[in-house]
Structure 1
């Protein structure tokens, strides 16, 4: 089996799927990429059994067909050191000897039998749901929510992104109990209601490859696995089992106190003032009064403190509310509007953050739980 491939093109495809390989693989074969040559098409697979990434390349010069598993680490590190050039792969499928021949040299490795590589799960057609989603819509939904997922071993459903499909809209939800993000697309509708929880790792893999894709992503899923088909990549992953908590119940509905403020100004002020917050609590206070917000922080142990005033539009009672500054920074970083609206009811209840300038097809809401302010 022989084929010729561009070194930089091969490296680009391998790097995109290599994140699927676990640092401690459950099986030795999974430390490898599976190379499968059929006709002029080279398909490369990386997997950790839970998540599998597949990429394919059309080649001009090939000879023979077959499959072999090649060591991922040495292959990636070697390709990084090559300048752009054609690489000739010469593979003996009986001895599993592999020679990578370049213009100036030859690099030899021993592969493993491709048949030992785990096979992909199959979609249960009786329980399957299928839809098409624009690549940029899927990427935006993941970008908006991935940062809010949890790392909770006791509640694995919180460690992923909830995808909800209805005849009215599509919803992406993520929460770690402190913050919650709900991102809805009103331009994506399905005939039937369906949902699944996408784990954090495959969500991160999609986030990395979707910018390279155009057109639609074909999504199909059953009660155990999800399949994402793109032009150059395919991702198959096991879904998180269990029911996602009722997120709508924690979103406060009546919030009479509303602030309109420049997002970047508040973000920059937080960056300065939070440096003076207690390292233990990371607490910053927002004091809201007529068209003014005072952001303050202090660390009594080191006798340091800071405050900064910002102008804003504020309708409501004078109040002071506290937040963990790193969580508040996360929220502000991931809202896309230049001005934002903060909706509050009282210092003990969650604050709602929404963009001031709304897109007709988007409904974006972020929630942040406050911290207790010691008197």
Structure 2
């Protein structure tokens, strides 16, 4: 294999694939990226056996062929080369090394054969539809903060995508929860998505597809089955296994009897929570909200750091009430509010609270209270 490629183009493509590769690998080939040069393109593939990312970039191919080399090492080398430079990749089978040349620099890298590289099966998946990049970004950004990191509850370690009915119409819904907070965001169901199974996309796959979306503006082709999902974004293709588990009945967590309405400026409230929680203990991050007529008082107490209070004007007229929350969870949710006002729908100090965004009817959040 021998080719020449522009440094920035190669760096961009490597950036798409190398983050899938784990820093520590017991299987040496999984630390490598597969380079496949043919038909005027250099194809790059990386996998951790659960996710595979394929990317391709135009290159001047002298000799077609394929070889694998250490993903992070190649990425670091290319990153440090001068902008605008030309990079030559030359694999000499007699030496078993990949030569990487640029200007006066030459690197000899250990290489492993293509035949050792695991290929994730990407045969035709039965359910296919398209979603605009901006819509997929919204579904991910407004829910992924609530993905559980508790490995024992593995079925919560991702976002649950499924078709549901809302107000008599079919919607595509994304849900994530860690048992302390829940995020549910929906969008009109895309054409051809009817009949798709509910799937739980793992956290790592969510983070990888989100990075790819930053460079994409257009429709994303999505294909899925009960066990796999793939996202096609121009020259990039991400394929991931799905979490093999049953997502809990999240509708049971969303309260229906809450009758106390609190409305306030979302950004001012978030800033106040951030300021007051500075003194709260690192372990509990507790903050208390005291509600009275058209006024909310935020307070926090730290074991050694002292205490803090702040008052905010708000629209509220349902009687005095005090309720405590984890300030980090509260900030995660208020950080998703795009409109001027945040709507809190409360019941009492011991019941879940619903949070809504005045600018996004399709987003709903649930936050469990805590004792303060």
What TM-score range do you get, normalising by the shorter chain? Answer: over 0.9
Instruction: Find the aligned partners of 2:114 and 2:331 in 1 and give their Cα distance.
Output: 47
Cα distance, 1:266–1:320 mapped onto 2, change above 3 Å: same
Indicate the SS of the match to 2:329. helix
Equivalent pair of 2:325/2:368 in contact (CA under 8 Å)? yes
2:96 aligned residue: 96
Q: Which of 228, 232, 239 lines up with 2:231 in the alignment?
A: 228
Unaligned runs of 5+ in 1: none
1:266 aligned residue: 269
Q: Which of 249, 270, 277 lines up with 2:252 in the alignment?
A: 249
Equivalent pair of 1:123/1:222 in contact (CA under 8 Å)? no
After TM superposition, the score normalised by the length of structure 1 is 0.93
For residues 265-315 of structure 1, give each alpha carbon's deviation from its aligned partner in whole angstroms, at most 9, with x where no partner exists.
11111111111223332111001111000001112x327111111001113
2:31 aligned residue: 31
1:194 aligns with 2:197: yes
1:372 aligned residue: 371
Question: Displacement, 1:193?
Answer: 4.6
2:291 aligned residue: 288
Cα distance, 1:193–1:21 mapped onto 2, change above 3 Å: closer
Equivalent pair of 1:68/1:96 in contact (CA under 8 Å)? no
Instruction: Find the aligned partners of 1:46 and 1:333 in 2 and give their Cα distance.
Output: 33
2:17 aligned residue: 17
1:320 aligned residue: 322
1:298 aligned residue: 301
Indicate the SS of the match to 1:274. helix
For residues 346-366 of structure 1, give each alpha carbon's deviation from its aligned partner in whole angstroms, at most 9, with x where no partner exists.
1111111111123xxx50001
Cα distance, 1:110–1:153 mapped onto 2, change above 3 Å: closer
1:202-241 to structure 2, matched below 5 A, reads: 202-241=205-244
Indicate the SS of the match to 2:25. coil
1:91-170 to structure 2, matched below 5 A, reads: 91-123=91-123, 125=125, 128-166=126-164, 168-170=170-172
Instruction: Find the aligned partners of 2:196 and 2:109 in 1 and give their Cα distance.
Output: 50
Unaligned runs of 5+ in 2: none
1:319-358 to structure 2, matched below 5 A, reads: 319-358=321-360
Q: How many residues align?
A: 366
Instruction: Find the aligned partners of 2:285 and 2:6 in 1 and give their Cα distance.
Output: 50
Question: Displacement, 1:250?
Answer: 0.6
Query: 86-95 or 1-10: which moved more?
Result: 86-95
Equivalent pair of 2:156/2:178 in contact (CA under 8 Å)? yes
1:77 aligned residue: 76
Indicate the SS of the match to 1:155. helix
CA RMSD, aligned part only? 1.6
Instruction: Find the aligned partners of 1:233 and 1:108 in 2 and give their Cα distance.
Output: 28
Equivalent pair of 1:18/1:46 in contact (CA under 8 Å)? yes
Indicate the SS of the match to 2:56. strand
Equivalent pair of 1:174/1:181 in contact (CA under 8 Å)? yes
1:276 aligns with 2:275: no
After TM superposition, the score normalised by the length of structure 2 is 0.94
Indicate the SS of the match to 1:154. helix
